[in-house]
């Protein structure tokens, strides 16, 4: 396991978020803040994974809107196009092309063991499509195209990165060294996983049905404060971190710690004896203050659609150049005729 503290400077980083649902506070703290920090020390490729979004039902116009929204929020959250390559996945055709080639080097049993395929199939049995099954090989192509050394992930995606590594090693051994073997990159101290405000044993997801438990990056300050006032805590009234016995309070302390710069211990000390109403008020205000500059930058970016599209075109061109070099090597090694 590699953490953000251990990652060697200059190594390539790849990460992506799928434009289903709307980006949340959990995405910001758990992924985007880490992704932004990595741009200071690493060449980074960050994509809006719209091809992956096709595995679930979508309204086409909504998928296009969310893809632009995600790109704007990436930038607003600190993923500067001056320091990272930011693009839409479907704008780089090599993702789909390498995915097909890798399908032919991935064993059926390996794909069938993927936990997320089992989980998502159970949740939507009416739409268990081949794309959902082959999702991990497209993810492997995403990573391997850019010779990524590190992939920032949560524990739920670790299995997919391990499959990418397995397929890459198999290909390298059969032909010759072609792909960098990627490593999972975990945030320091296991990462700040953010849970639902109303169900603090489950994650704060982009597509959760209870919006009261999810803070979206574009929520108004009034909406943010209302959600925190309704946050589930417990009955003993003590503000201390105890994930097993006090999941609601622990979740609020984690959020406050991640956005205030205080450690969880410092947050406990600062709020000791304040009461749960004050805890919710303090954390809500901290969140609203953190979201304000993100929302302001987002509004500026989304109002200038031409400028935003220019950034994405330039990102896709840069990504395509790197991706083409990898794909050409693969096609040559597997025997495809190139003119």
Residue carrying the six token digits 């803070």: 215
d(CA 245, CA 34): 28
d(CA 273, CA 240): 10
| Helical residues (DSSP H) of the chain, grouped into ranges | 25-27, 33-38, 50-53, 60-76, 94-103, 108-112, 115-123, 130-145, 158-174, 221-229, 247-260, 264-271, 276-303, 305-334
Q: Which of 203, 227, 246, 280 is catalytic?
A: 203
Q: Which residues are bridge partners to 14 per DSSP?
A: 45
Report in angstroms the alpha-carbon separations of 236 from 22, 118, 251, 276: 34, 38, 16, 10
Closest CA to 2 of 153, 157, 166, 177: 153
Q: Which of 120, 227, 246, 280 is catalytic?
A: 120
Contact 24, 205 (CB under 8 A): yes
Closest CA to 97 of 168, 145, 155, 151: 145
Is 120 designated active site? yes
Contact 223, 213 (CB under 8 A): no
79: left (phi over 0), alpha (psi -120 to 50) or beta: beta
Q: Which of 206, 227, 246, 280 is catalytic?
A: 206
Q: Which residues are catalytic?
A: 120, 203, 206
């Amino acid at each position: 396991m590699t953490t953000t503290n251990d990652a060697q400077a200059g190594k390539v980083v790849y990460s992506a978020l799928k434009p289903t649902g709307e980006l949340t506070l959990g995405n910001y703290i758990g992924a985007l803040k880490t992704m932004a920090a990595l741009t200071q020390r690493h060449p980074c490729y960050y994509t809006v994974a719209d091809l992956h979004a096709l595995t679930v039902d979508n309204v086409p116009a909504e998928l296009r809107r969310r893809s632009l929204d995600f790109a704007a929020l990436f930038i607003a959250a600190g993923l500067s196009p001056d320091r990272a390559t930011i693009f839409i996945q479907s704008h780089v055709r090599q993702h789909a092309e390498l995915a097909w080639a890798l399908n032919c080097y991935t064993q059926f049993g390996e794909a069938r063991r993927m936990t997320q395929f089992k989980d998502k199939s159970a949740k939507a049995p009416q739409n268990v499509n081949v794309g959902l099954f082959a999702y991990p090989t497209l993810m492997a192509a995403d990573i391997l195209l850019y010779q990524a050394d590190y992939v920032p992930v949560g524990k739920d995606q670790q299995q997919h990165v391990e499959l990418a590594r397995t397929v890459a090693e198999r290909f390298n051994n059969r032909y010759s060294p072609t792909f960098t073997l990627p490593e999972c990159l975990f945030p320091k101290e296991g990462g700040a996983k953010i849970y639902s405000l109303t169900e603090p044993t489950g994650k704060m997801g982009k597509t959760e049905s209870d919006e009261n438990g999810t803070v979206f990056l574009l929520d108004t300050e009034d909406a943010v404060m209302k959600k925190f006032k309704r946050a589930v805590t417990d009955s003993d009234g003590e503000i201390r971190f105890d994930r097993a016995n006090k999941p609601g309070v622990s979740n609020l302390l984690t959020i406050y710690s991640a956005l205030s710069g205080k450690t969880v211990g410092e947050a406990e000390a600062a709020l000791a004896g304040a009461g749960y109403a004050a805890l919710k008020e303090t954390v809500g205000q901290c969140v609203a203050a953190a979201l304000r500059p993100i929302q302001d930058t987002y509004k500026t970016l989304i109002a200038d659609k031409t400028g935003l599209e220019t950034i994405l075109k330039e990102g896709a061109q840069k990504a395509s150049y790197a991706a083409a070099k990898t794909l050409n090597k693969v096609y040559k090694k597997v025997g495809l005729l190139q003119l």
